[in-house]
Structure 1
Amino acid sequence: MSEFLKALLSQEEELQFESFTNEDAFELGRIIVEHARAVIGRGIAVHIENGEYPLFTHYMTGTSKDNVYWINAKKNVVHHYGHSSLYVGEKYKAEGTTFKDASGLSLEEYQGEGGSFPILVRGKGKVGTVTVSGLAGEEDHQVAVDGIRKFLDAKE
C-alpha cells in the first residue's frame, strides 16, 4: 500500500468523534464554511448528514447546481465503501485501474473523487458523512479534514 493511501487511512483513524449530534453537525458545518471564507477565499458547498437525512447544507456564493451532483456522488461512495471518497478513488488508481472502469457503479450516482469523509464515532463506526465540493478533489478532501480537525481540537 502506498504512503498516500496509508496517510488517508490514518486520517480516518485519527479523526474520530466520541459522539456526533445534530448540533455537532451544525457546528462542524459552520467551522468548514468559516475556514473556506478565511483561508480559501472561494465559495464551496458543504453537506453533512447522518446517513438517513441532511443535518447541515450550505452552498456559498460561487457554487452552482453542479455542486449538488458532486456532493451526492461523492457521499454515495463513502456510504458504499465506508472510506473517504478520495481513498476509494486513489485505491483504484494504485491497483492500476480507475473508479470508472473497476467499481461497476453508475457514474451518475457515484464518483471516486476527493471531498467526502466519513463521520466516525469511536466504538460505533460510520454514522454519517461530511462532503465538500467546489475545489479540486484533493482540496475538497483537505477542507473536510481541516474542518473535522478544528472541530475535534475545540472539543479537547
Structure 2
Amino acid sequence: MSEFLEALLEQEEELQFESFTNEDAYELGCIIVKHAKDVLGKGIAVHIENGEYPLFTHYMTGTSKDNIYWVNAKKNVVHHYGHSSLYVGEMYKAQGTTFKEGSGLSLDEFQGEGGSFPIIVRGQGKVGTVTVSGLAGEEDHQVAVDGLRTYLTR
C-alpha cells in the first residue's frame, strides 16, 4: 500500500468522535464554513449527515446546483465503501485502474473524488459523512479533514 493511502487511513483512525450529535454536526459545519470564508476566501458547499438524513447543509456564495451532484456522488462513495471518497479513488489508481472502470458503479450516483469523509464514532463505526464540494478533490478532502481536526482538538 502506498504511503499516501496509508496516510488517508491514518486520518480516518485519528479523526474519530466519542459520540456524534446533531449539535456536533452544526458546530463542525460552522467551523468548515468559517475556514472557507476566512482562510480560503472561497465559496464551498458543506453537507453533514448521520447516514439517515441531513444535519447541516450550507452552500456558500460561489457554489451552484452542480455542487449538489458532487456532494451526493462523493458521500455515496463513503456510504458504499466506508472510507473517504479520496481514499477510494486513490485505491483504484493504485490498482492501475480508475474509479469508473474498477468500481463498476454509475457515475451518475458515485464519484471517487476527494471531499467526503466518514464520521466515525469510536467503538461504533461510521455514523455519517461530512462532505465538501467546490474546490479540487484533494482540496475538498483537506478542508473536511482540517474542519474535523479543528473540531476534535478544541
Structure 1, unmatched stretches of 5+, are none
Matches within 5 A, 1:76-95: 76-95=76-95
TM-score (ref. length: structure 1): 0.98
Structure 2 SS opposite 1:43: coil
What's the CA shift for 1:105? 0.4
The equivalent residue for 1:69 is 69
What's the CA shift for 1:114? 0.1
CA RMSD after TM alignment? 0.3
- For residues 68-114 of structure 1, the C-alpha deviation after alignment (integer angstroms, 9 at most, x for no partner) is 00000000000000000000000000000000011010000000000
Question: Between the two proteins, what is the percent identity of the paired residues?
Answer: 84
The equivalent residue for 2:97 is 97
1:143 maps onto 2:148 in alignment: no
What's the CA shift for 1:144? 0.1
Structure 2 SS opposite 1:102: helix
Structure 1 SS opposite 2:153: helix
Whole-Å separation in 2 of the counterparts to 1:117 and 1:39: 20
Which residue identity does 1:18 align to in structure 2? E
Whole-Å separation in 2 of the counterparts to 1:152 and 1:118: 14
Matches within 5 A, 1:27-38: 27-38=27-38
Structure 2 SS opposite 1:150: helix
Which residue identity does 2:143 align to in structure 1? V
Whole-Å separation in 1 of the counterparts to 2:153 and 2:94: 32
The equivalent residue for 2:54 is 54
The equivalent residue for 1:23 is 23
Which residue identity does 2:64 align to in structure 1? S
Which residue identity does 1:65 align to in structure 2? K
Which residue identity does 1:114 align to in structure 2? G
Structure 2, unmatched stretches of 5+, are none
TM-score (ref. length: structure 2): 1.00
Whole-Å separation in 2 of the counterparts to 1:149 and 1:66: 27
Structure 2 SS opposite 1:96: coil
What's the CA shift for 1:38? 1.0
